[in-house]
Amino acid sequence: MNISESLRIAVDGLLTNRLRSLLTMLGIIIGVGAVIGLVSLGRGVENFVAAQFQGLGSNILFVFSSQPTSSTRTTIQPISTIEARALADPTVAPSIRQVAMETSVPAVVIAGSRSTQLLVSGVTPNFTEVRSWTPTLGEFINQDHLDTVARVAVLGTTIVERLYGDKTYNPVGEVIRINERTFTVIGVMAEKAAGFIGDENAVVFIPITTAQTRLSQSRTRDGGYRVDVLYVQARDESRMNSATLEIETYLSDAHGIIFRGEQDFTIINQADLLSSLGQVTGILTVFLAMIAGISLLVGGIGIMNIMLVSVTERTREIGIRKAVGARASDIMMQFLIESVILSFVGGTIGIALGALLTLLGGLLVPDLELALTTDAIILATGVSGFIGVFFGLYPASRAARMRPIEALRFE
């Protein structure tokens, strides 16, 4: 018996019991669809996390004050504007392109009868360049605003909605009050998509000099003003590590730090953080695929069970074929082909189900940008094919080992 004849007999056998064949394939269909859908979800989360951090700017180091880990040093010397300007000097830190500063002040912001509480951010003009975030209405803070300690503000769209009831409203030129001081709105920032780092649109930017002198008194002992966060942009990605070393060396010297663990500041490398989060989301993707793989395992067991039932039901048929000259390999091939057909047809339908789940997921959560990937299809197809062979071998070999006389006498 050749393979084409075995294939014809296998298909006839499956079509004879259509409902049973469909129910047998159901486990494979659900398993393959779940693998593809969950892998696509995991990849979507990975890409979403990467996009969130790339949206913070390129080649960025985040520097801020933190509690020393050493018990010998318990005080914190805040990072100052003088230190920030020194780091922007190429003779001090040649790997650094520019440094943007931010200091936060708790405030109540009032517009008419509406008000909101938040941390108002005092920033430098280059904040938009470093963070790759610009206004869509009006303008951003410039150097003249810093020099004159101007009372001007740039709002995020969430704050526009809180204060004026509609985030599409243009408040440029309007007067608001921040901690009982009047400010003029000069711009509205472009809206950012919601992410796991919070609502970035719930922000009010003012000149950093205004925040440091009019809304708070944050002098440091070196004569400068306290800075909460430095956004340090390296000249290119290859110089991120050298820029980190230059910052650590300068601040350690400025703060009188001698031993490791006494550092009262933290430097976060954007690339390292993104890599670490990428590993976490990658593990999440694998974990989701393993959970979905359990469905495939259950589907494989279902195939084995049904094939064993089929062998039992067709015992007399097997005996007759062996009596007229069919070899054990022919019988084995017939039942193995049935098992593989169940797996591959179920896998094909499962791929369509996975594509549908991916499409629906993309429509329900557009920020994740789910997409059907080739490797997920290859993985699901390969696994379903392996299951067909693996779980079909035992029933097929059992049928092939039957003795013709005993098979013919089977009732």
Tell me the average pLDDT across 323-334. 74
Kindly give the pairing relationship between strand 229-234 and strand 96-111: antiparallel
Look at residue 284 in the predicted model and tell me its pLDDT. Answer: 75
For residue 269, give the 3-state DSSP assignment: strand
Question: Which pLDDT score, from 0 to 100, does residue 328 have?
Answer: 74
Q: Tell me which range, 251-265, 295-309, 355-369, is most confidently predicted by mean pLDDT.
A: 251-265
Q: Measuring CA to CA, how many Å separate 133 from each of 117, 136, 162, 340?
A: 23, 10, 21, 55
Q: Mean pLDDT throughout 139-143?
A: 96
Convert the pLDDT of each residue in 177-193 to its tens digit: 999 999 999 999 999 87
Q: What single-letter DSSP state applies at residue 175?
A: E
Residue type, 391: F
Residues sharing a CB contact under 8 Å with residue 304, sequence separation 6 or more, in sequence order: 391, 392, 394, 395
Instruction: Note if the pTM is more than 0.85.
Output: no
What does the pLDDT read at residue 231? 93
Say what the pLDDT of residue 405 is: 64
Burial 304-316 (b: 16+ CB within 10 A, else e): bebbeebbeebbe
Calculate mean pLDDT across residues 18-46: 80
Both structure tokens of 82: 């003088």
Report, in angstroms and rounded to the nearest whole number, the Rg of the chain calculated over CA atoms: 33
Give me the percent of the chain exceeding a pLDDT of 90: 34
Q: CA 375, 378, 379, 381: dihedral to nearest 10 degrees?
A: 160
Give mean pLDDT, residues 275-300: 74
Query: What residue ranges do the domains of the chain occupy?
Result: 3-52+277-408, 69-263
Three-class DSSP category at 368? helix
67-114: pLDDT as tens digits: 887 666 667 888 999 999 999 999 999 999 999 999 999 999 999 999
Q: Which of 19-23, 115-119, 151-155, 322-326 has the lowest mean pLDDT?
A: 322-326
Mean pLDDT value across residues 265-288 = 74
- Render pLDDT for 181-229 as a digit per residue (tens, 0 to 9): 999 999 999 998 765 567 889 999 999 999 999 888 778 888 889 999 9
Distance in angstroms (rounded) separating the CA atoms of residues 129 and 148: 22
Residue 130 CA to residue 151 CA, distance in Å, equals 23
Enumerate residues 6+ apart whose C-beta is below 8 A from 89.
none
- The pLDDT confidence band at residue 155, using thresholds 50, 70 and 90, is very high
